[in-house]
């Protein structure tokens, strides 16, 4: 089998993943700015950190597409959503991570079945990081549900602490 043909499906999957990472990166950067504006400092910082991590994932995926002789499609998987409440943002972020983890598990297996262990390894490395993101969003959601307005008040108090 010609090399280009062999990696055709992997390149397709890597481009789908790239579009998803681009979306996550911009979505979290937007959440960062909204939370920062509301004075929710710890959460704002976490959204920025994950946005940057997703951007690094985009870089890794794009590099591998070129390595396999493919063409990079630098697009978004879907539109970026504007949200007002922390609950909406956390819920959406958690769902994004959950979907990504499912996709990467499936796509990694598919790449491996096509004889592309390198792409599988990349999906596995990425999905471990996405699991970390999902876990953090889940924890924030739980705190939010448990403490309600107090959770938000603590976010703002942390902001004041750093303003000294």
Confirm if 56 and 106 have CB atoms less than 8 A apart.
Answer: no
Q: Residues with Cβ < 8 Å from 77, sequence gap 6 or more?
A: 16, 19, 20, 22, 23
Using CB under 5 A, pick the residue from 22, 23, 32, 57 that binds Fe ion. Answer: 57
Binding range to Fe ion, per CB under 5 A, among 21-29, 73-81, 86-94, 154-162: 21-29
Using CB under 5 A, pick the residue from 133, 140, 144, 152 that binds Fe ion. Answer: 133
Confirm if 17 and 102 have CB atoms less than 8 A apart.
Answer: no
Using CB under 5 A, pick the residue from 62, 130, 140, 144 that binds Fe ion. Answer: 130
Confirm if 55 and 28 have CB atoms less than 8 A apart.
Answer: no
CA distance 153 to 131: 28
81-100: which residues touch Fe ion (CB under 5 A)?
A: 97
Q: How far is the CB of 25 from Fe ion (least distance, A)?
A: 8
Using CB under 5 A, pick the residue from 22, 47, 54, 65 that binds Fe ion. Answer: 54
CB nearer to Fe ion: pick between 35 and 152: 35
Binding range to Fe ion, per CB under 5 A, among 14-22, 35-43, 80-88, 140-148: 14-22
CB nearer to Fe ion: pick between 32 and 57: 57
> How many CA atoms does the CB half-sphere of 119 hold within 13 Å?
31
CA distance 120 to 94: 23
Q: Is 140 in the site for Fe ion (CB under 5 A)?
A: no
Tell how far CA 41 is from the center of its chain.
20
CB nearer to Fe ion: pick between 25 and 152: 25
Per CB under 5 A, residues contacting Fe ion are: 21, 54, 57, 97, 130, 133
């Amino acid at each position: 089998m010609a090399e280009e043909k062999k990696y055709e499906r992997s390149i397709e999957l890597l481009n789908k993943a790239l579009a998803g990472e681009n979306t996550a990166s911009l979505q979290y950067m937007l959440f960062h700015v909204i939370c920062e504006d509301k004075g929710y400092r710890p959460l704002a910082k976490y959204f920025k950190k994950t946005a940057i991590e997703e951007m690094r994932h985009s870089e890794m995926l794009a590099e591998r597409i070129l390595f396999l002789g493919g063409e990079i499609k630098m697009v978004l998987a879907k539109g970026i959503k504007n949200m007002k409440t922390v609950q909406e943002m956390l819920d959406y972020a958690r769902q994004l991570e959950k979907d990504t983890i499912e996709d990467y598990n499936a796509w990694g297996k598919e790449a491996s079945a096509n004889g592309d262990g390198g792409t599988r390894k990349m999906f596995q490395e990425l999905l471990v990081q996405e699991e970390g993101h999902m876990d953090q969003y889940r924890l924030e959601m739980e705190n939010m549900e448990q403490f309600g307005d107090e959770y938000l008040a603590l976010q703002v108090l942390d902001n004041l602490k750093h303003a000294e």
